[in-house]
Amino acid sequence: MLRSSGRWSDVFRLSPPGEAVIGRASSNQIVIRSHQASRQHARIWWDGTEWRIEDLGSRNGTFLGGKRLEQAEKLRDGDLIEVGGFGITFTGRIEGGIGDAQASASSSGQATDDQITIEFDPDAITDRRRYSSYLHGQSGTTEEGRHRSPPATSDRLLQVAFQIARCEESSEAVDVVLNSLAENVSFETAGVYLRSPSKQSGAGTEVAGAGVAGSEVAGTEVAGPEMVLAGARQSGSKSYRRPADSLMQSIMQEDGQAVLARNVRGDQSVATEDSRGEIDVESLILAPVRDQQANLLGMIHLTTSPGPTPLSAHDLEFVVACGEILAASLRGLTDRRRLSRSLRQTQQQVKQLQAQLGDKVRIVGKSQAIEQVVQQIGLAAPTNATVLIRGESGVGKELVAAALHHASKRRNGPLVCMNCAALSPSLLESELFGHEKGAFTGATERKRGKFEVADGGTLMLDEIGEMDAETQAKFLRVLEGHPFERVGGHEPIRVDVRVLAATNRDLQQMVRDGEFRQDLYYRLHVVEIVVPPLRRRENDCLLLAEYFLEQFNREMGRKIQGFTEAAKKRLLSYSWPGNIRELKNAIERAVVLNTKDLVDAPDLVLSPAVQGGSAEPSTEASPEISLAELEQLHIERVLRFTDGNKSRAASILGIERSTLDRKLKRFAEDKS
């Protein structure tokens, strides 16, 4: 503000490519409080090479040098503009401009002695930036005012980038930016805002993809995302203050650019007042911090007080460059935190899966017999070959099947297991191939069969020898690559399934007896893995016992430390007709009923049918008795002990009730 002829003269500063609308409306850049002025009277703008003025269809006209404007005209230093009884001097120097304006106004007879001076800055480059020339390769002078990056400035920005790259937290990155600004830009106050993830109650709608919540500033609610002050600096005693809400909102828009305002006092849209209602800021820079996807992450705000050194276009370039470096750092830190959380979650899930799969897939033992099985699994797993797994009941055939699946290329697909002995022939077909709604009594809805469920994975069929002849024929066609149909359906279905089959029966003998299809046997017998019984696995019994002890300790919250020597001797001397399943049941029973630190021999109830306290079942049969005969003898003794209770007998033997029924049926057939 300058005094002239006893009145105050307002000064407005323009910088290319700025513009100023003159008129009575309060929304104009230059407001004329006169009934002679139209709401939007005239416009001054930068056309890329020079300043120009035009009348906007006003009632009383716009005069330039005493001549009414009929079209847009070029403005020159010292020109007098007359609008609504006001004289406006257009000048590059305030000194002398006012005096020229007064003289010209008096000669025209249109203007009063109320004078307004417009000062233009011919050296300004721009007042807006979307990107910095330092980081986007805009070297060399152009018509738009871009200029070559000074080597020293580029070196300082490179140093900032290196320092920020070492930051582990966003607060550290903000401190680096503020320190760099303090070293390279002459400001009075500076603040860095970061986007807050939380939203306040009553916040307005989101602003153009900015994604931040509203906040209260100077008693007003700011709609859109909340900007939280993350750090501030001041060079003097004046404290930092938040920029005007309207200015922040303009920057928060999707296309909002960094702005340089060199005459804050002359622009109410960017000015803020102190506690006394005074505007004490001369110039300011407000730059958004955006990532490469234009997401708003924060803002950088600088101000200066009236004085000899306002903020410049060079300062704006440097601030924008710092904002771009900060945005890259914030995005990197965000991605790092997200990846870190994802990694921790993945590691936790892996541990959980390993713990879950450990009990199901882990093959415990060091005997030569079990090592041979592990070797065969390693050779067969990577292939799609059908595998026939043979062994006595309870030796862990399903465990071998799980190991084959999880070591194969189908590990990410499902592993579906089904016991063929547990179902009748009609239900077995429905379980394998599925059925349509209404296919039979009780079929109230469509059901997918095991083949469909296992598509892309592995299907393990236990007790394959119990499959009836009709189901064997349909099963063989699927193994040979033919489509199948659901029971009661007509739609052909193709699946990609690897089949593993398990049995404790002699399939070759069943083929000779006509109980099993020869062609199906050959189709299943591509790779055969024979799982040895526990009694042929040397000292693996002790390793398995310790493994089960640890498992049940964990499940039941017990702290049993191990086995006494007497208990170990008893474990090794027993023949384990129920194999690993029987051993597991025996250890579980010992953990449940034991209150001591060690499991002793009396804690191991190996077979209630054993007489005389011996762990080895006695028999009057010849030592040349076959294994099948010994198995039958032992089952009959257990049944006598349970008074014919098959469920209790199956529990003692460590086998399924259906398996016991099948064995008893076979014993009866052999006698007949």
Q: Which long-range contacts (CB under 8 A, 24 or more apart) does 32-35 make?
A: 32/83, 32/84, 32/86, 34/84, 34/85, 34/86, 35/84
Rounded CA separation 385/529 (Å): 12
Say which residue, 501 or 293, is predicted with more confidence: 501
Beta bridge partners of 229: 193
pLDDT band at residue 618 using 50, 70 and 90 as cut-offs: very low
- pLDDT at position 277, please? 45
Average pLDDT, the chain: 77
- Beta-strand ranges (E) seen in 509-616 are 527-530, 562-563, 598-599
> In the prediction, which pLDDT does 175 show?
92
Query: In the prediction, which pLDDT does 151 show?
Result: 62
Distance CA 259, CA 262 (A): 10
DSSP, collapsed to helix, strand or coil, labels residue 657 as helix
pLDDT in tens, 538-564: 889 999 999 999 989 988 888 899 999
| CB-CB contact of 303 with 283 (8 Å) | yes
pLDDT at 148: 45
Inter-residue contact 621 to 589 (CB < 8 Å): no
User: Span 479-496, mean pLDDT?
Assistant: 88
Q: How far apart are CA 74 and CA 129, in angstroms?
A: 26
Kindly indicate the confidence band of residue 136, based on its pLDDT and cuts at 50, 70 and 90: low
pLDDT confidence band for 619 (50 / 70 / 90): very low
Q: What's the rounded mean pLDDT across residues 187-214?
A: 55
Of 200 and 508, the structure prediction assigns the larger pLDDT to 508
Decide if pLDDT at 604 tops 80.
yes
pLDDT digits (tens, 9 = 90+) for 301-316: 998 887 767 787 788 8
At 201 the pLDDT is: 35
**Range of lowest pLDDT (95-99, 187-191, 420-424, 548-552):** 95-99
334-341 own/partner pairs: CB under 8 Å, 24+ apart: none
Pairing of strands 215-217, 527-530: unpaired
CA 182 to chain centre: 37
Q: Within a 13 Å sphere around the CA of 487, how many CA atoms are in the beta-carbon half?
A: 26
Range 594-599 average pLDDT: 88
Q: Residue 622 pLDDT > 50, yes or no?
A: no
Q: How far apart are the C-alpha atoms of 105 and 62, rounded to whole Å?
A: 13
Identify the residue with better confidence: 261 or 417: 417
Q: Inform me whether the pLDDT recorded for 493 exceeds 70.
A: yes
Strand, helix or coil at 488?
coil
**Percent with pLDDT over 70 in the chain:** 76
User: Count of H helices and E strands in the chain?
Assistant: 18, 29
Contact 194, 298 (CB under 8 A): yes
What's the rounded mean pLDDT across residues 608-629? 49
**pLDDT of 360:** 57
Q: How far is CA 362 from the centre of its chain?
A: 31
Q: Is 6 exposed, middle or buried (0-12, 13-18, 19+ CB in 10 A)?
A: exposed
**Residue 303 · residue 189 · CB < 8 Å:** yes
Q: Give the span between the Cα atoms of 79 and 663, in whole angstroms.
A: 115
Query: How is residue 43 written in tokens?
Result: 């416009």
Tokens of 584: 């597991």
CA–CA dist 475, 386 (Å, integer): 13
Supply the pTM of this predicted model.
0.44
Which tens digits make up the pLDDT trace of 91-114? 765 544 444 444 444 444 444 444
pLDDT of residue 352: 65
pLDDT band at 662 (very low <50, low <70, confident <90, very high): confident
DSSP-based three-state secondary structure for 535: helix
Q: Compare 627 and 29 and report the one with higher pLDDT.
A: 29
* Better pLDDT: 353 or 304: 304
pLDDT at 373 over 60: yes
More confident residue, 115 or 49: 49
If one compares 217 and 297, the residue with the highest pLDDT of the two is: 297
Q: How many CB atoms lie within 10 A of CB 224?
A: 22
pLDDT exceeds 70 at position 623 = no
Give the residue from 458, 472, 464, 460 showing the smallest Cα distance to 503: 464
DSSP string for 267-323: -TTT----TTS-----EEEEEEEE-TT--EEEEEEEEE-SSS----HHHHHHHHHHH
Structure tokens at 297: 């992450």
- At 427 the pLDDT is 84
Segment 279-294 shows an average pLDDT of 81
Residue of 416, 376, 419 whose CA lies nearest to 400 = 376
Rounded CA-CA distance 402/398 in Å is 6
Token pair 């965000």 is at which residue? 334
When mean pLDDT is compared across 440-444, 472-476, 496-500, the lowest value belongs to: 440-444
pLDDT in tens, 453-467: 999 999 999 989 888
At 606 the pLDDT is 76
Considering only 197-206, 341-350, 387-396, 433-442, which range has the smallest mean pLDDT? 197-206
Length of the chain: 672
What residues contact residue 554 under an 8 Å CB cut-off, 6+ apart? none
Q: What is the mean pLDDT of residues 482-497?
A: 88
User: Given a cut of 50, is residue 205 above it in pLDDT?
Assistant: no
